[in-house]
Amino acid sequence: MLEVRLLGKFEVLLGGEPVEIPSRPAQSLLSYLMLNAGVAHRREKLAGLLWPDSDETNARSNLRHALWRLRKAIGDEYFDSDKVAIRFNPDSDYQLDVDILKDQPSEAGTSDDLIPIVSVYEGDLLPGFFDEWVTLEREGLRAVFEDRIQNLVDQLVEEGRWREAREWAEFWISQGQSPEPAYRALMVAHSGLGDFSGVALAYQRCVETLKQELDVEPSVETRDLYQRLTERGRPPTTPIERSTQELPISPTPFIGRDEELAQIVELLSDPKCRLLTLVGSGGIGKTRLALQIASEKMGDYPHGVIFVPLASIRSPEFLTSAVVEALGFQLSGSEDPHLQLIQYLRQKELLLILDNFEHLLDGAEMVADLIGSVPKIQILVTSRIRLNLRPEHLFEVHGMPIPEVGEFERMSDFDIVQLFQQSARRIQAEFSVSEGDEPHLIQICQLVGGMPLGVELAASWVRMLSCEEIADEIEKSLDFLVSPLHDLPERHKSMAAVFNSSWQLLTNHEQGVFKKLAVFRGGFVREDAERVAGASLPMLLSLTDKSFLHIAPSGRYGIHELLRQYGHFKLRGTPKEEGEIRDLHCETYLDFLSQWEEGLRGGKRRDAVNAIGIEIDNVRAAWNWAIVMKRVDQIQGALESLWLYYDIRSWFKEGFEALHRAIGALRASDRITRKIGATIASLLARQAWFGWRLGRYQEATDLAQESLLIARKLDLHTEVAFCLHVLGTIAYAQGSYSEAKEQYQESLGIWREIGNRWGMAITLFSMGQVAHALGEYGEAEQPYREGLEIFRDIGYKAGATFAFDSLGRVARTLGDFVDAKELCLESLAIRRELDDQWGVAACLDSLGAVLCGLGEYKGAVETCLESLEIKKSLEDQRGIATSLNNLGHVNFQMGDFGQARGYCEEALAIRRELGDRRGMATSLNTLGDIAIVIKAYPAAKHYCLESLAIRRELGDRRGIASALNTLGLIAWELENYGEAGRHFREALREAITIGALPLCLEILVGLSRGLMKDERFELVSELLALITIHPASSIDSKERASTLLNEVLKTRPSEAIGQAYDRGATKTLQTLIEEILEE
- Yes or no: say if 567 and 612 are a contact pair by the CB < 8 Å rule: no
Provide the β-strand partners of residue 353: 307, 380
pLDDT tens-digit readout, 112-125: 888 888 888 888 88
Determine the average pLDDT of the residues in 862-886. 87
Residue 232 has pLDDT above 80, yes or no: no
What is the dihedral sign for C-alpha 474, 476, 478, 479?
negative
* Interval 568-627: pLDDT, tens: 989 999 999 999 999 999 999 999 999 999 888 866 777 888 899 999 999 999 999 999
Q: Other CB atoms closer than 10 Å to residue 1006's CB: what's the count?
A: 22
What was the pLDDT predicted at 234? 43
Mean of pLDDT values over 41-50 = 84
Same fold for the pair 797-875 and 898-1078: yes
If you average pLDDT over residues 409-416, what whole number do you get? 78
Ranked by mean pLDDT, which of 311-320, 659-668, 794-803, 1061-1070 comes out on top? 659-668
**What pLDDT score does 621 carry?**
95
Q: In CATH, what is the architecture of 797-875? A: Alpha Horseshoe (1.25)
CATH class entry, domain 498-573: mainly alpha
| Alpha-carbon distance values, 433 to 146, 255, 448, 903, 1050 (Å) | 41, 18, 18, 29, 68
The CATH number of the structural domain formed by 258-396 is 3.40.50.300
Neighbours of 230 (CB within 10 A): 17
Residue 462: closest CA among 418, 424, 434: 424
pLDDT (0 to 100) of residue 493: 57
Confidence band (pLDDT; 50, 70, 90) for 872?
A: confident
CATH level 3 topology of 898-1078:
1.25.40
Q: What is the mean pLDDT of residues 884-891?
A: 90
Radius of gyration of the chain (CA): 37
CA 371, CA 375: separation in Å to the nearest integer? 7
**Is the model's pLDDT at 54 over the cut of 80?**
no
Choose among 105, 111, 203: nearest CA to 157.
Answer: 111
Report the pLDDT value the prediction gives residue 239, as an integer from 0 to 100.
39
Q: What is the distance between the alpha carbons of residues 864 and 894, in angstroms, rounded to a whole number?
A: 14
CB 352, CB 243: distance < 8 Å = no
Rounded Cα–Cα distance for residues 461 and 447 (Å)? 15
Q: Which residues pair with 42 in a beta bridge?
A: 85
Report yes or no: 828 and 834 within 8 Å, Cβ to Cβ: no
pLDDT, residue 233, reads: 38
Residue pair 5/100 in contact (Cβ under 8 Å)? The answer is no
Q: For residue 40, give the amino acid letter.
A: A
Supply the DSSP symbol for 802. Answer: H
pLDDT(1062) > 50: yes
Give residue 403's pLDDT. 83
Tens digit of pLDDT for each residue in 689-725? 999 888 788 899 999 999 999 999 999 999 999 999 9
Confidence of residue 22 (pLDDT cuts 50, 70, 90): low
- At 586 the pLDDT is 97
244 confidence band (pLDDT: 50, 70, 90): very low
- pLDDT value for 505: 84
Q: Residue 509 corresponds to which amino acid? A: H
Share of the chain above pLDDT 90, in %: 29
Number of H helices, E strands in the chain: 51, 14
Task: Give me the pLDDT at residue 242, please.
Answer: 46
Return the beta strands (E) in 420-459 as ranges. none
Least confident of 659-668, 850-859, 934-943: 850-859
3-state secondary structure of 352: strand
Give the number of other CB atoms < 10 A from CB of residue 871: 25
In terms of CATH architecture, what is 1-159? Orthogonal Bundle (1.10)
Q: pLDDT band for position 488 (50/70/90)? A: low
Confidence of residue 746 (pLDDT cuts 50, 70, 90): very high
- In this prediction, residue 777 carries a pLDDT of 67
pLDDT for 497-526, tens place per residue? 778 878 888 899 999 999 999 999 989 999
For the chain, give the percent of residues with pLDDT over 70: 93
Q: For 605-618, write each residue's pLDDT tens digit.
A: 778 888 999 999 99
pLDDT at 406 (0 to 100): 65
DSSP 574: S
Res 489: pLDDT: 58
Q: Which DSSP state fits 330? A: -
3-state SS assignment for residue 9: coil
pLDDT of residue 240: 41
**Residue among 205, 216, 213 at smallest CA distance from 182:** 205
HEC string of 944-973?
HHHHHHHHHHHCCHHHHHHHHHHHHHHHHH
Residue of 681 and 839 predicted with greater confidence: 681
Let me know: does 557 contact 505? Beta carbons within 8 Å: no
Question: What residues have CB less than 8 Å from 365, skipping those under 6 apart?
Answer: none
pTM above 0.85, yes or no: no
Residue 238 pLDDT grade (very low, low, confident, very high; cuts 50, 70, 90): very low
Q: Contact 560/448 with Cβ under 8 angstroms?
A: no
Structure confidence at residue 611 (pLDDT): 93
Average pLDDT over residues 938-960: 88
The residue-averaged pLDDT of 373-397 equals 91
pLDDT for 483 equals 63
Domain residue limits, the chain: 1-159, 258-396, 408-477, 498-573, 797-875, 898-1078
Across all residues in the chain, what is the average pLDDT?
Answer: 85
Which residues 6+ apart lie within 8 Å of 510 measured at CB?
A: 539, 542, 543, 546, 548
From the list 1037, 882, 1071, 1029, the residue with the least C-alpha distance to 965 is 1037
Contact 966, 928 (CB under 8 A): yes
Closest C-alpha to 973, from 948, 938, 1000, 945:
938
pLDDT of 6 over the 80 cut? yes
> Cα–Cα distance between 582 and 235 in angstroms, integer?
78
